[in-house]
């Protein structure tokens, strides 16, 4: 059976809101036709997507799968339209999504190296804290500078550019602040932040930027595990300690999986040529497929 994009949009809205009224408001429609559309989708698929109780709505196992796959499908459709329009433009451009200060000091070198490539096109910078990966998935951006393990890289390919150890930032006077290092086990019961593009399953207090997070730490609201370069910008009233067993934070250049864009391939090669980590294999989309031209 075929599922229409309209039906996917309806279902994703309900699945994300877990409330038919809020989903209907978000979609700009009345609740009864939305409820009917979801019922009809379940009947056509012959599977229950939602558990409806007097206390609200919950996703079934099948609903969880359709939510994840539906988001990817909607992003892919939006991306196809945006990339087709960009390809048809009389003046092609690349859009690079990044977080302010999130380039490990490599951005200028990357841009200069790419500009020297024959056939290089202008690069627009799109600054975002919480939507960089989503911008690549749905076609608003061609590439992004992201961090692993902090960002969810589902649906993207990537190459490593820079690796940093991680530290925990604590308020002065915190019971752990007097030590020389901590382990992740020491932080298990400590309140920690959740970034907008965190991997699925990560919980915590939502934050949208490093400056906001550091102020919350200073006020004693939480602790934060961050790349060690954050030490250069710690506010008064905070301290940092090495986290001995934390996974290193890796800056990556990410692009759409199965991209066939020569401009994207050239940019990835330029980025990895100035990387501070060894490149053990051919990099960029050309390592995975044959590109046009």
Structure confidence at residue 123 (pLDDT): 96
Planar angle of CA 29, 139, 247, nearest 5 degrees: 105
Whether the pLDDT of residue 262 is over 50: the answer is: yes
Q: What structural domains and CATH numbers belong to the chain?
A: 5-76 (1.10.10.10), 90-159+249-287 (3.40.190.10), 166-242 (3.40.190.10)
Question: Could you give the maximum distance between any two Cα atoms of the chain, in Å?
Answer: 63
pLDDT per position as a tens digit, 74-122: 887 887 777 777 777 767 899 999 988 889 889 999 999 999 999 999 9
Q: Which tokens go with 68?
A: 């994840």
Supply the pLDDT for residue 279: 58
The model's pLDDT over 156-195, given as tens digits with 9 standing for 90+, comes to 999 999 999 999 999 999 999 999 999 999 999 999 988 7
Alpha carbon of residue 214 to chain centroid: 21
Residue 158, CB-side half-sphere exposure with 13 Å CA sphere: 23
Of the listed ranges 34-43, 168-177, 231-240, 270-279, the least confidently predicted one is 270-279
* In the predicted structure, residue 227 carries a pLDDT above the cut 70: yes
The pLDDT of residue 282 is above 70: no
Contact (CB, 8 A) for 99 and 128: yes
Q: Looking at residue 120, what is its pLDDT?
A: 95
- pLDDT for residue 284: 45
- Under a CB-based contact definition with an 8 Å cutoff, are residues 219 and 279 in contact? no
Q: What is the pLDDT of residue 90?
A: 67
Which segment of 23-32, 102-111, 279-288 scores lowest on mean pLDDT? Answer: 279-288
Please give the structure tokens belonging to residue 32.
């009864």
Residue 289 is predicted with a pLDDT of 39
């Amino acid at each position: 059976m075929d599922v229409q994009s309209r039906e996917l949009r309806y279902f994703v809205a309900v699945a994300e809101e877990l409330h038919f009224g809020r989903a209907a408001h978000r979609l700009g429609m009345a609740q009864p036709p939305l409820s009917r559309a979801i019922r009809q989708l379940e009947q056509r698929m012959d599977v229950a997507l939602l558990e409806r109780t007097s206390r609200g709505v919950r996703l079934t196992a099948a609903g969880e799968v359709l939510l994840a796959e539906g988001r990817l499908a909607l992003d892919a459709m939006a991306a196809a339209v945006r990339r087709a329009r960009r390809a048809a433009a009389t003046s092609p451009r690349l859009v690079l999504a990044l977080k302010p200060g999130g380039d490990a000091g490599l951005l200028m070198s990357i841009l200069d190296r790419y500009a020297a490539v024959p056939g290089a096109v202008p690069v627009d910078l799109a600054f975002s804290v919480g939507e960089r990966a989503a911008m690549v998935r749905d076609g608003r951006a061609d590439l992004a500078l992201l961090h692993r393990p902090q960002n969810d890289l589902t649906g993207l390919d990537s190459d490593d550019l820079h690796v940093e150890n991680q530290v925990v930032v604590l308020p002065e006077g915190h019971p752990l602040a007097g030590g020389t290092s901590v382990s992740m086990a020491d932080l298990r019961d400590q309140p920690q932040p959740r970034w907008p593009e965190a991997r699925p399953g990560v919980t915590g207090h939502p934050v949208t930027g490093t400056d906001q997070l550091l102020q919350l730490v200073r006020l004693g609201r939480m602790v934060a595990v961050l790349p060690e370069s954050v030490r250069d910008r710690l506010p008064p009233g905070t301290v940092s300690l090495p986290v001995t067993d934390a996974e290193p934070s890796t800056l990556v250049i990410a692009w759409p999986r199965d991209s066939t864009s020569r401009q994207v391939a050239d940019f990835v090669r330029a980025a990895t040529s100035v990387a501070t980590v060894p490149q053990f294999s051919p990099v960029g989309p050309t390592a995975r497929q044959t590109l046009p031209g």
